[in-house]
Structure 1
Amino acid sequence: MDLEAVRTFVAVAEAGQFQKAATDLSITQQAVSKRIAALERTLGVRLFTRAPRGAEPTIDGQAFLPHARELLRVEGRAIASVRPGHRPLRVDVIASRSAQSGLMRGFHRAHPEIDLDVMMLFDIETAVTAIRSGTIDASFRAVAAPGRPLPEDIESIRVLDEPLQLLTGPRHALAGARSVTLAQLTGHRIWMPGIAPGTEWGAYYDDLVAEFGLTIEATGPNFGSDVLLDTIADTPALATFMGEPTRLVWPAGHDLRRIPVIDPTPVYPHSLLWHRDNPHPALATLRTHLAATTADHDATGTWRPGWVTPR
């Protein structure tokens, strides 16, 4: 059904005259007549009768009028749903309890007027594909994994260096330490299920192991943070890494310890990725907010892989 013809029908019904509808629509009266005639052929009924005061809807026209108005309302909602600034800003944060999610919560508190859709994709290839197709507007990632530069149409900016801490149970050999050096972690088992080969975080921990001789185990299925915390609390031989901004809740009886890692402090670098032609106005607001609220990068006493270089 031709929506312009439907729009013309509503205009005539509301104006009561073909000429008045033509003026309202900025078209000729002849064009109005042609559109109404075409719509009547499509529907197989007459929509108007001529009257002394102009045009009046027939019984069929009266029945069709509320549906015609609803068609135009649906058209307006459909257009608004994809118009920049009229749909939510869609951002990928990898995990709900991550530092990235914390950054987006801060953005939402600062800009509650901006609608957000927060989603979680798995790897950087999936995220980049979604950015390029317009499925999402931005993604937080480590940029960029070795040998896999970002496509030329993807922009990025470093937004957060997340310090790693050691998380242990109360009976771990390092549980009483106020801080630990990376050298002190040599020989200790660091359990991190969920490190997947080929991901940017997999590349990060591969480099951390190679540089400092650590033992990181990714064995076993990843059953989520609750099982990870239960295991760390009950197993004196195991510890894990956790980002300093990450906020997890565990039973008081676990008595878990978060211990700063120093000399150097390994930091996980987060960058924001977006398509250079993305017109969503809230995307610029997000970039400005992150630039104003995140710390300096590559601070003295920190470590990150050499391939993590913002573009």
Structure 2
Amino acid sequence: MQVVTLFATAIAAIRAGSIDASFRAVVELPEDLDAQWVFDEPLQLLCGRAHPLAALSSVAPAELAGHRIWMPGVVPGTEWGAYYAEFTAAFGLSVDAAGPNFGTEVVLDTIAESVDVATLVGAGSRILWPAGHDLRRVPIENPTPVYPHSLVWRRGNTHPALAALRRHLEKDERAAGGWRPGWAS
């Protein structure tokens, strides 16, 4: 539940002016805040070497159906909860969010020891695991699900560094062929 608190805390801090901006997916935006899309992060399947999909060079979202995708900590009502709810509905998948979230190490240990448990990670996420785990990252393609990151700030914030950051993060268009939830279009 701490992550949910951090989300609410970040929004409150932006509104109070104690921070200028935050990065997040934007499902809904209060009227006093504004946002700019900055990056679509492709998702990958992370699994152990004995997992049935481990040897593939890539996997389509539909091919994940029937496989256990374990993501403890996905909380309904959060931006990532909304993302995974729409992603799983779009491709007939299910995400198992059961169990206490004891951190990344426990998930990695479980995946390494299992022949049927996998998780999803961002392609740019730096995840270190012990050499003996022999985990595999399998790109998800056709289409590639992408997690939409945006910069969020308070309307009327004229801080020059915020303006410079926004200019630095401007992009002309999103990558072609990525799957995004309807609220991120």
Same-fold call, TM cutoff 0.5: yes
Matches within 5 A, 1:142-157: 142-144=25-27, 149-157=28-36
Matches within 5 A, 1:32-51: none
Query: Aligned pair 1:277/2:156, yes or no?
Result: yes
Partner residue of 1:171 out of 30, 50, 73? 50
Residues 10-53 of structure 1, C-alpha deviations (whole Å, 9 max, x = no match): xxxxxxxxxxxxxxxxxxxxxxxxxxxxxxxxxxxxxxxxxxxx
User: 1:308 maps to which residue?
Assistant: 184
User: 1:296 maps to which residue?
Assistant: 173
Residues 253-294 of structure 1, C-alpha deviations (whole Å, 9 max, x = no match): 111000100111110001100012223221112112222xx6
Instruction: Name the aligned partner's letter for residue 71 of structure 2.
Output: M
> Residue 185 of structure 1: CA displacement?
0.7
Cα distance in structure 2, aligned partners of 1:225 and 1:193: 10
User: 1:204 maps to which residue?
Assistant: 83
Structure 2: give runs of 5+ residues left out of the alignment.
none
Secondary structure at 2:119's aligned position in 1? strand
Question: CA 1:222 to 1:295, structure 2 compared with 1: closer, same or farther past 3 Å?
Answer: farther
Q: Percent identical across equivalent pairs?
A: 59
Secondary structure at 2:13's aligned position in 1? helix
Question: CA 1:192 to 1:295, structure 2 compared with 1: closer, same or farther past 3 Å?
Answer: farther
Question: CA 1:275 to 1:192, structure 2 compared with 1: closer, same or farther past 3 Å?
Answer: same
Secondary structure at 1:307's aligned position in 2? helix
> Residue 295 of structure 1: CA displacement?
7.8
Q: Normalised by the size of structure 1, how large is the TM-score?
A: 0.56
RMSD of the TM alignment (CA)? 1.9
Instruction: Name the aligned partner's letter for residue 222 of structure 1.
Output: N
Q: Which of 1 and 2 has greater Rg?
A: 1
User: 1:122 maps to which residue?
Assistant: 6
User: 1:7 maps to which residue?
Assistant: none
Cα distance in structure 2, aligned partners of 1:285 and 1:160: 17
Residues 45-94 of structure 1, C-alpha deviations (whole Å, 9 max, x = no match): xxxxxxxxxxxxxxxxxxxxxxxxxxxxxxxxxxxxxxxxxxxxxxxxx9
> Residue 230 of structure 1: CA displacement?
1.0
Secondary structure at 2:183's aligned position in 1? coil
> Residue 223 of structure 1: CA displacement?
1.1
Indicate the structure with greater strand content. 2
User: 1:20 maps to which residue?
Assistant: none
How many residue pairs are counted as aligned between the two chains?
Answer: 184
Structure 1: give runs of 5+ residues left out of the alignment.
1-93, 96-119
